[in-house]
A and B are shown apart, each in its own frame.
Chain A
Amino acid sequence: MGKRSSPATPSPTQRRIVAISPDDGAAIDLKQPELAALLAWLVPGLGHFYQGRTRKGVLFMTVVLTTFVLGLWLGNGRVVYASWRQGETRWWFVCQAGVGVAAVPAVIQSMAINGPSREPFWRAGWMTPPLVDGQLVSRRYAERLIQNDPYIVADDFWDRPPYKQFRADQLSMWHHELGRFFELGTLYTVLAGMFNMLIIYDAWAGPMRTAGREKHLAEDETPSPATGADG
């Protein structure tokens, strides 16, 4: 028969990491907070599902993904892309990546179009960075752009076998095409990512408590000198 630990000192396998609900003081079992935080980044709300906080998970998933998809729709699928080229660095993607898996295709598209194939992985061009002056693309992708994009014509490409070289600025075309909706779509998707930063913290550490409220509670609990420690 093995040793039993006293109830006052739980064994390491029995310890739980909990947060305290600011509403009713109940314990919130965070399970493995690091895993919950990772899941919360991958899919907004998934970390809360893992912890059994289902209703909050549904709320977060709905709010963040709706905001993100709405932003994509307003920007015609063009506002989320990853670009680290000099002079065309998409810093907003750092915030958009906060939504997790939903923003990963932008990285794949960027690697594909800048890689040996010179065309996006997904042919529809979703989340593909805009072409810049002098950029080489595959003939197939150039022909697809000429066919499908009303702003791009055959004269926008030089022939550079086995590729085609773009000689315009596609980002300017997008701004002209979308007008205010490019910035609006960017705003929606950026905010969706930033909201998920707060949600990741909630999954990792539980609800945030304001310092002012904690100080007020501490003052209420401290016995006054007149009554003494026995109340």
Chain B
Amino acid sequence: MLVMLPLLLPPAILPLALLVEQVPMLLFGLPLMAAASLVFAATHHEQAEAIKWAALEWAVWLVGILGVVMVVVLVISSL
């Protein structure tokens, strides 16, 4: 796949694409959790300060719940 990249992507973003290849799959979930936290918070509040703290709370819940799910999956897969 790395060999095909030069044919598919403009040279300007090729180094970034090569970097992305090295990122563990799990880390691609972090921007999604940040986006979900912001959207959930902003659709439940109106003031900026309240949105900020609610986003933090949502992020903690999301990371916590998904973390528990990941641990359970890892334990089951190791059995």
Contacts and interface: CB of A to CB of B under 8 A. Distances in A.
Contact of B32 (A23, A60, A191): A191
B22 interface: no
A2 B25 CA distance: 70
B46 A21 contact: yes
A70 B4 contact: no
B44 A22 contact: yes
Interface string A9-24: 0000000000001111
The secondary-structure label for the interface of chain B is: helix
A59 interface: yes
- Size band of the A side of the interface? 35 or more
B43 A22 contact: no
A26 to B, nearest CB: 8
A24 B50 CA distance: 10
B45 to A, nearest CB: 6
Contacts of B20: 74
A23 B45 contact: yes
A180 B45 contact: no
A191 B33 CA distance: 10
B40 A59 contact: no
B46 A59 contact: no
Given A63-B38, A195-B36, A201 B47 contact: no
Given A177-B4, A184-B28, A191-B32, A210 B38 contact: no
Nearest to A53: B46
B42 interface: yes
Given A177-B4, A184-B28, A198-B40, A22 B35 contact: no
B45 A202 contact: no
Interface of A: 21-24, 26, 28, 53, 55-56, 59-60, 63-64, 66-67, 70, 74, 76, 150, 177-180, 184, 187-188, 191-192, 195, 198-199, 201-202, 206-210
24 contacts: A21-B45, A21-B47, A22-B45, A24-B47, A26-B46, A63-B38, A63-B39, A64-B35, A70-B31, A74-B28, A150-B4, A150-B7, A177-B4, A179-B1, A184-B28, A188-B32, A191-B32, A191-B36, A195-B39, A199-B39, A199-B43, A201-B43, A202-B42, A206-B46
